[in-house]
Amino acid sequence: IRQKTLFDIYKSYKNNEPLSVITAHDFITGKIADKTPNLDIVLVGDSLSMVAKGHQSTLELEFDDFYYSTKSVINSINEKFIIVDLPFGSFEESIEQCTKNAIKLMKLGKIGSIKIEGSYEIKDKIINLTNAGIPITGHIGLQPQKFNIFGGFKYQGKNALNALEIFKQAKFLENLGVKLIVLECIPEKLSDFITKNLNIPTIGIGAGNKTSGQVLVMADALGMNDSKNAKFVKQYLDFYSLSIDSLTNYSNDVKLRSFPESIKHTYPMNDEEFKEFE
């Protein structure tokens, strides 16, 4: 199967087929995503700052660490459309900094779009990247890189004025030539309205069921952490508990000398050879 292109993503969008998106943060999680038959898009999100690096937020993530992780994910992907985040600190300084880091990521290959949080304040950067031939994914609503300004990880667009502001940002991004928009933590009514009034796909997280697609962080969806998931997450597996149970069984086997088993897991040597050796 050839890798999905932006054209394929738009074909699904035009056919009203919801787009399914999952994050990956290393070679193993990337491979799992790549081999999930009906999944469309893999996002290398800066949520890997918490999920894979153990930080408190996305702000602590260093570009070089993110770049290295992105490379590992990309090594595992052959079939899915890939979107990669621009992490905090990799684009704010200048158009030059933004373009340099986006191009550095694109040079890893296989990447279909670069995602960047924000709207008006990154206008020139988005135009520059688009002119360079990089399809841009927007990200509005809750913007985790700005949680200090937002006053925490709160859902956005609750009141009419704030909802209008988010709608304006979505239209602004569409008019700039952005190809997809992530809507994070906004009411379903608002994301429905935005989706109906745009001609580009919206990908929701904590934004209800009316967007063009959904995205979840794989570690949340598969229960890879012991931390409590947000309200909007559906957990499909308890990987964390199952892993600890399985490793407990392994460790018991070692202590009881029931692993490894003599023929099944063990290399042979015939008796004559061993006698000669002794």
Window 135 to 154, contacts with ligand KIV (CB under 6 A): none
The reply to whether 60 belongs to the active site is no
Give the span between the Cα atoms of 142 and 145, in whole angstroms: 9
Shortest Å, Cβ 273 to ligand KIV:
56
205 binds, among Na ion, ligand KIV, none (CB under 5 to 8 A by kind): ligand KIV
* Binding-site partner at residue 181 among ligand KIV, Na ion, none, CB < 5 to 8 Å by type: none
Q: What is the rounded distance in angstroms from the CA atom of residue 180 to the CA atom of residue 123?
A: 15
**Which residue's CB comes closest to ligand KIV?**
45
Piece of the chain touching ligand KIV by CB under 6 A; list 44-52, 88-96, 103-111, 119-127: 44-52
Residue of 79, 121, 184, 276 marked active site: 184
Q: Which does 26 bind (CB under 5 to 8 A by kind): Na ion, ligand KIV, none?
A: none
Q: In the complex with Na ion, which residue's Cβ is closer, 147 or 259? A: 147
List the interface residues with ligand KIV, window 166-225 (CB under 6 A). Answer: 182, 184, 205, 215, 217
Q: What is the C-alpha separation between 236 and 233, in angstroms, rounded?
A: 9
Query: Does residue 41 bind ligand KIV (CB under 6 A)?
Result: no
Q: Which residues bind ligand KIV (CB under 6 A)?
A: 23, 43, 45-47, 85, 182, 184, 205, 215, 217
